[in-house]
A and B are shown apart, each in its own frame.
Chain A
Amino acid sequence: TQLLEQSPQFLSIQEGENLTVYCNSSSVFSSLQWYRQEPGEGPVLLVTVVTGGEVKKLKRLTFQFGDARKDSSLHITAAQPGDTGLYLCAGRLNAGNMLTFGGGTRLMVKP
């Protein structure tokens, strides 16, 4: 069992649709990050959230940290083919811990 469970594992949608991916845990995190990884590349940081209930927006992407700091979501509005990739959430249990990754959500946006 992974510390961070991501759902869905795979998502294939048409350009222009909205989607939400989830990152859940039974543990409380001091901070949580979302990364995007394209084939043959390393993950690239999208956002860091640290406060329970925090919402951050990055263009068409909206990130939310749960009130209890156990879960997070990523919502994409009007998805585009360029959004295709592997979305990874990663959390730290406390400031002194390693970054633990979820299993990822593989998103494909078809034109």
Chain B
Amino acid sequence: GAGVSQSPRYKVAKRGQDVALRCDPISGHVSLFWYQQALGQGPEFLTYFQNEAQLDKSGLPSDRFFAERPEGSVSTLKIQRTQQEDSAVYLCASSFGIYTGELFFGEGSRLTVL
């Protein structure tokens, strides 16, 4: 596609539910990043993929968070047993290069946990 596509745009979950957020990066982009952005704050790094390999997951806040990119294209961020503090916008970004260059962001998935 022309840009990074994320779905769903909005998700409301009850506390304790599992959620899955999808990211479809720009075709041919090697690098894929997930960031978490709380209201009024800057994005916080969660995890990084180079093709299908998850090279850095140091930003994942707990073992309830899991990300995958099995075929080196589409990625899914899964949050198990959601908590209220998980409420945030989850941004996906892709870039052509490895570690360098411009990041192209999707519009984000806004998660609200009640």
Which residues in A have some Cβ–Cβ distance to B below 8 Å?
2, 4, 6, 31, 33, 40-45, 48, 88, 90, 92, 95-104, 106
Contact = CB atoms under 8 A, between A and B. Distances in A.
Contacts of A31: 100
B41 A103 contact: yes
A44 B104 CA distance: 7
B56 A98 contact: yes
Contacts of B72: none
Given A88-B42, A98-B59, A103-B42, 15 more contacts: A2-B42, A31-B100, A40-B107, A42-B4, A42-B107, A43-B103, A45-B103, A95-B99, A97-B99, A98-B33, A98-B48, A98-B56, A100-B45, A103-B41, A104-B42
Interface of B: 4, 33, 35, 40-45, 48, 56, 59, 91, 93, 99-100, 102-103, 105-108
Contacts of B106: 42
Nearest to A98: B45
A65 to B, nearest CB: 16
A73 B35 CA distance: 24
B70 to A, nearest CB: 22
Nearest to A31: B100
Given A92-B99, A98-B56, A42 B105 contact: yes
B78 to A, nearest CB: 20
A43 B44 CA distance: 13
B91 A42 contact: yes
Nearest to A42: B105
Nearest to B99: A96
A92 B105 CA distance: 17
B93 A42 contact: yes
